[in-house]
A and B are shown apart, each in its own frame.
Chain A
């Protein structure tokens, strides 16, 4: 295979893995998946940021 063809093959395979596999199955947007609107997202994040929590090692 020529250099150009090898590089194009790598680019296409890489982009396919990234967008058709990783993005679709492993990297869903956490907030978009859970909530429909910005208000709910904001309320959720504020709840996360204000709930008293400790780390496991405390």
Chain B
């Protein structure tokens, strides 16, 4: 009898994880970025003794406090889900995630939480300098917490520094530093935290713009705009740099994701980067339809960004499914790409060999054990393909990945222009006159969240069907539980998180309306 992966279970488990991760991410980037803005302001207060800086510090600290209180621990739900809905996956990766997540826990609870308490309740009770140090440590601690989560995520995109133990079915860490300093992890961390800085800068500028429009708190608003726009602009420029680094890593490690980001079905040498375009709806990888309904592209830029060579060949979705194109591997040797069908065959060999290895082990058949272990090791790099039957299933959702990527990049460049405009006008003392720009700054706050979410959609939808690149597909990662149980908790989370979001917005709006108090809260 053939057994089935339950599609409903897989889809509901994915939907639930996506829902909780996205709600969690509504709170995180503001925390990561605004803590630095607060630390800059408090530094200026300690240096100058100007009470206006203290007032500004305390005002933004109050808004940070609301976000922190409502968002804190929402990420723990993701860990609940790992154990319940994703037990195969959790077991498979266990030893790799153990160290980063344990360090994250220590960081979050002992560094961040301790100093958050000093930051909120320590005014007047500890020295100015110690309070300032606490504020900086909250900023650094929050970002270090994010580091470990992002390292774990990067490992899933590019598994490295480990060894798979076929007796326990677990990956075991061989080299912690390879996991921590993998090029994907470094780029992911830097790109993600700088995107959070940009979001926080836009938040501060938007709220300050509201004060200017209302004719309130002019000095605080102007000072906040100066700090936030300079911080935002510098972060944005670094974001472009880390985005370039991320694109390079995606081209090397996850070429299917790159093809989906660009809607590129048919690869080519000297491939252009699509600036604006519309992928052809209903396009299949092997039909004769054009890749795009329309596009505007910069010639050769995709080849250059992905491979550092304007004439490099960038494989499209079709090439990646059918294989046969030439490429240079990580050792600098010329290779011919395997097709998805060949990889599926290798993956199935690895799965059968693993099963036979376990049988041989039980029967003390040393010869069969060694033979099967050899076959398993030879084919392990495509282990995850062994769960797939249709070569098409290695293709992620191309339109969703394409549009998310282009929304993220488009908004990213819009933010740079906005920061420039705001900096120029505020130094020319003309910002208050430009009321349309102040309104635009407010309107940009939700756009910053959309850009940030789009980035995660690119990263996570673009890497489907994998939870761990090439090693474990999503369908094989889930626990054998009832789909209806996941459905129930999905709706429960929708309700709880929506309630938290409403509470956040309500309290935040109220507090902004009240505005800063003399001497702070």
Real binding pair: yes
A10 touches B70 (CB 8 A): yes
For A57, the chain B residues whose CB sits under 8 A away are 7
Return the chain A residue nearest B85 by Cβ: A30
When chains A and B are docked, how far (Å) is the Cα of A14 from the Cα of B69? 10
Q: Which of B207-215, B293-301, B351-359 contacts A (4 or more CB under 8 A)?
A: B351-359
For A43, the chain B residues whose CB sits under 8 A away are 358
Return the CB mask of A1-31 against B: 1 if under 8 Å, else 0.
0010011101100110110001100111111
For B99, the chain A residues whose CB sits under 8 A away are none
Taking the closest CB of chain A, its distance from the CB of B258, in whole angstroms, is: 26
Which of A41, A45, A50, A54 makes the CB contact (< 8 A) with B2?
A54
A27 touches B489 (CB 8 A): yes
When chains A and B are docked, how far (Å) is the Cα of A10 from the Cα of B213? 32
B2 touches A42 (CB 8 A): no
Q: Does B65 contact A (CB under 8 A)?
A: yes
Taking the closest CB of chain A, its distance from the CB of B379, in whole angstroms, is: 13
Q: Does B507 contact A (CB under 8 A)?
A: yes
For A32, the chain B residues whose CB sits under 8 A away are 83
A14 touches B492 (CB 8 A): no
Q: Does B92 contact A (CB under 8 A)?
A: yes
When chains A and B are docked, how far (Å) is the Cα of A22 from the Cα of B80? 9
A14 touches B92 (CB 8 A): no
Return the chain A residue nearest B493 by Cβ: A22
A55 touches B4 (CB 8 A): yes
A11 touches B69 (CB 8 A): yes
| Given A22-B77, A52-B3, A3 and B169 contact (CB-CB distance below 8 Å) | no
| Given A27-B80, A57-B7, A42 and B72 contact (CB-CB distance below 8 Å) | no
Return the chain A residue nearest B7 by Cβ: A56
B69 touches A50 (CB 8 A): no
Q: Does B84 contact A (CB under 8 A)?
A: yes
Return the CB mask of B486-521 against A: 1 if under 8 Å, else 0.
001100100010001001000100010000000001
When chains A and B are docked, how far (Å) is the Cα of A10 from the Cα of B72? 10
A3 touches B492 (CB 8 A): no
Which of A3, A14, A27, A56 makes the CB contact (< 8 A) with B4?
A56
A14 touches B351 (CB 8 A): no
B351 touches A50 (CB 8 A): yes
Q: Does B307 contact A (CB under 8 A)?
A: no
For A30, the chain B residues whose CB sits under 8 A away are 83-85, 87, 479, 481
B390 touches A58 (CB 8 A): yes
| Given A53-B387, A55-B475, A18 and B3 contact (CB-CB distance below 8 Å) | no
A17 touches B496 (CB 8 A): yes
Smallest CB-CB A-B distances: 4 pairs: A50-B355, A27-B80, A30-B87, A29-B83
26 contacts between A and B (CB under 8 A): A3-B511, A7-B70, A7-B507, A10-B69, A11-B69, A14-B70, A15-B73, A22-B489, A26-B485, A27-B489, A29-B84, A29-B87, A30-B84, A30-B479, A30-B481, A43-B358, A46-B358, A49-B88, A49-B351, A51-B3, A53-B5, A53-B387, A54-B2, A55-B10, A55-B475, A58-B389
Other than the given A27-B83, A38-B168, 17 more pairs (CB < 8 A) read A3-B507, A3-B521, A10-B70, A11-B69, A18-B77, A26-B485, A29-B83, A32-B83, A42-B91, A43-B358, A46-B169, A48-B476, A49-B92, A49-B169, A51-B3, A53-B2, A53-B476
